[in-house]
Structure 1
Amino acid sequence: MAWALGANSNSPPFAPAIGANAISTMRAAFLIGIFAAAGALTQGGAISETVGADLIGGVTITPLAASTGLLVAASFMIFGVYSGYPVPAAFATTGALVGVGLSLGGDPAFGTYQRIGTFWLLVPPMSGGLAYVTATLLRREEVPETVGVPLLAAVVGAILANIRLGVIPHPERAQGSLAEAASFAVGRPLVAGVDVVAILATVVVAAVGFRYIRAKTQVSAEQGIRTFLLILGSVVAFSSGGSQVGLATGPLENLYSVELGLPSIILLGIGALGILAGAWMGAPRLLQATSREYAQLGARRSIAALVPGFIIAQVAIALGIPISFNNIIISGVIGGGLAAGSAGVSRRKIGVTLAFWVITLVMSIAIGFGLYRLLSTVLGIQ
């Protein structure tokens, strides 16, 4: 399952960079594996908990149920890798786990479904809309590239300073951010209830990002833009690993944590290794599909596609909501492409992909339900 995630859902973050000829396909696959595996280890816990415990009520996911759900979801995604149509991992996994959970005798968790479904429905307009606006602004002559692109780098830097990472301790929860670590290091002084050190740390990181990209763009606008595009691909791939590994590890949370008594970092480590292998072995094919067939993007519109993807991914991780990176990045690619006119967007490809997403969700529920019922009857176990 983690292999399929590495080959499928962790591929889109670098697709715009390949489409803009900022990096080769094989080099992108290598970087995807490294950054996605790191994200899986440091940010994967929240999504894993949601997938493992919150999708079905009244029952505990058994080893057979977990195996069935993972088999169904991974099969959908591997089909996507070799068909060239990116399958949304969150749709496939959520549907499969709901199907096996219902077959196991569990109760639907309608509150969780409503929360997840609402977020999923908001992703295309948010990602596509932000990408369209950002691409339009970057194309305006009155906004110099030596200002507009560095400002986007500052925004990314500010967010990076505040994302929660498992390697940063926090006295009140499992994960802390870089800005919080800086604040706690000096005693966390508050001014009128405001953590001024955390704010200062955020400003410093944002300023470093602005200054670095501005220096690059002043030397060469094109080189500076491509440098920022590669950095964006890296941080989005990192976020992708953090949000996607839980789709593989979540069904096994009860087995590892409760029955075997193992720390969750071991399970996340296994998932990270699978993602690494999948990215290196299976990502190039899908990278070609998403970068060449959806839209012919330049470097500027590619940046516009990745910035909202990074923001939405980190919001989803903070909320513990499983998401499809195919959904996020492809919506951003389409929004960025439309900023220059619809000629660069394959309407047929988009329509087929959207239909395939809906089919994936419905069919994964049905197949998960039926396959678990068949296996439990044939094997005589639960």
Structure 2
Amino acid sequence: MAPFDTGRLDALMEEAGIDVLLATSKHNTQYLLGGYRFIFFSTMDAIGHSRYLPVVIYEKGHAENSAYVANRMEGGEHQNHPFWTPAFHAAAWGTLDAAEYAVEHLRKIGKGAARIGIEPSFLPLDAYRLFSERLEGATFVDATGVLERLRAVKKPEELEKLRKASELVTNAMMATIGWARAGTTKTEIIERLRQEETNRGLQFEYCLLTLGPSHNRAASDQAWREGDVLSIDSGGNYRGYIGDLCRMGVLGHLDAELEDLLGEVEQIQQAAFSKVRAGARGGDVIARAQSVLKASKVAEFTDFFAHGMGLITHEVPFLMTNHPVTYEGVDAARPLEAGMVVSVETTMLHPSRGFIKLEDTLAVTNDGYEMFGERGRGWNRGATA
């Protein structure tokens, strides 16, 4: 039995004019396989002269014709925990042999000349050329939007993974801030965070860190000094799902100006939160936060942003256009749905105090929202000497 809503996928494929789907991205093959991702290629794709190319094949209305084209080493995975797809091909080492097996399966189920949905941004050129040459009469359709919409509303088990990811990232950041002291460098702080996240069962993905008045978030030998603020923004992966949050630290005395500045950020965050609920337009969340930001005394150097998240850090709902990531805010006029997950972030680039930011994760509910990983939203203290 397929681990996703086949009726929803069938409807989305019908609307997009797709007969059969070829999913080739790690995140979408993971979703279609019920959360599975092959550990050998979890953090890289390259092998020899080629790369790993998983392919999940799904025919509209006929889940019984589904197949998974895998790497040869995944045969052992199938023996331990069989994949749900009726057909399984663990015979590929690179892109071309994976594409060959996909072509063979499409022909077997009579879809060699069908309208085939692909992921253009996640389909290597050599594999696409092979599909084009071998599947005479086929029409290729961009299925990116179909798969994004399929993943938009999270199942309870997905929400639990996102909650866990957010809590573990927050706990790791709190421990890291409490460990760092005067003289600790950015590079050392980032490495400590990596250890804290890994020890909690997360796969560390990134840390964007600032110290003092600098707005530079890259690793360096810059050291934390007494009175400096620290901004720590990190993504940690828990079983495929992303925890992405930002928290603030200060070393030494916490003055009234810093309390006030973070308070301005918090007001903007709360304005956005107040509009989050199932049925509300996504654009209303943005408009409310921006109206409060516009009236703020820190508006000149402060920005607001919100985006959907789940298996990847920017997914449905897409709420803003080219701000800062280059995609269209196609969901601004659409209602939020219970089970969607939104990241809400307000960033201040203060000219003298530095980078001051909060980023929070909200799961949309019927009557509002539930926040994941809500610890440490105020000023957190670094270690004393």
Could you say whether these structures have the same fold, taking a TM-score greater than 0.5 normalized by the shorter chain as the test?
A: no
Higher normalized contact order (CA 8 Å, seq sep 6+, divided by chain length): 1
TM-score after normalising by structure 2 = 0.25
**Rg larger in 1 or in 2?**
2
Q: TM-score, normalised by structure 1?
A: 0.26
